[in-house]
Amino acid sequence: MTLLHSFGAAVPSRAVTNEELSPLVGRTPEWILNVSGIQERRWAGEETSVVDLAAEAARDCLNRAGLAARELGMILLSCSSGHRQFPGPAVQLAQRLELTATPAIDIPLASAGALFGMSLAADLAPTRGPILVVAAEIMSRIAMRAPQDSAVSVLFGDGAGACLIHPDQGIARIRGSLLGSDGSFADDLKLEFGSGISMNGRSVILQATRKLPRVISDLLARLNLKAGDVGTFLMHQANQNLIDKVADTLGVDRSLFFSNIRRYGNTSSASMLIAASEWAADARLRSGELICFAAFGAGFNWGALLAEAP
């Protein structure tokens, strides 16, 4: 039995409001809020790296867990906005944690990377021991590159989240996960070297609104459950309208979907864990309560993971 043990997060101090962003992208603050549900996002300073954010989130998670970094069996780090092609930031994170032999693996999956990392950690923790899953992104520098697509630029912010997967201790046992990938849509959401983000918004929304409810429903069905049995949904914070659409398609109240996108924007793979960290800080789980994680991102890659409070 593998469990979710604890969460952590780190976000830059600078909050960029729609009013500040508006003249930079040629859109009104009201338009930005209506199309995304975002009111502000955090931007990292030029001196800050994804490793800085990852290390802060990792330490926050480990402190909450009361676990020393040396007790980790593995680190999985999701990042799609690193500053170089290789090596990825995972090994630098391990070095920041003063680890010299613990395996540290990069998962360069935009938006869905944390969910894939959690699923992999759930399978590996029984043999590897506690696994730290971290997702860190600085998307603002990419989103604001010229030439800009204002519909894309307004979405993204910066931050990091972390989750500790433990083989026998935690707040909720992982009951199962379901992952999917389809490269047929690889060109509909991509980041070429040195370019800005290219997104076919119609395709992304269409596929996300189909695949997310389906993967959640399929996972629940495998466990003889239905959407109405879930107490909390923690989804990648891509767009508030998308989150609401998934809730409506599943036939559950929108309030069951934890949302903090209004304050942080879309932080790609970090968003789900930042949301989970905020949710966990105030959560009062009842025995048997179900928590469903879900994400969709470039690739396309998507998935869901279900946990249950003991």
User: Looking at residue 194, what is its pLDDT?
Assistant: 82
Residue 245 CA to residue 22 CA, distance in Å, equals: 26
User: Looking at residue 8, what is its pLDDT?
Assistant: 98
User: Looking at residue 153, what is its pLDDT?
Assistant: 92
What fold is seen in the domain 3-166? Answer: Peroxisomal Thiolase; Chain A, domain 1 (3.40.47)
Low-confidence ranges of the chain (pLDDT < 70): none
User: Looking at residue 1, what is its pLDDT?
Assistant: 78
Residue 298 CA to residue 296 CA, distance in Å, equals: 7
Give span(s): CATH 3.40.47.10, the chain: 3-166, 172-308
Q: What residues have CB less than 8 Å from 47, skipping those under 6 apart? A: none
Its pTM stands at: 0.97
Q: Span 172-308: which CATH code?
A: 3.40.47.10
Predicted confidence (pLDDT) per residue in 57-68, tens digit: 999 999 999 999
Give Cα 193 distance to the centre of its chain.
23
Residue 257 CA to residue 106 CA, distance in Å, equals: 28
User: Looking at residue 256, what is its pLDDT?
Assistant: 98
Query: Of the candidates 48, 229, 62, which has an alpha carbon nearest to the alpha carbon of residue 141?
Result: 48
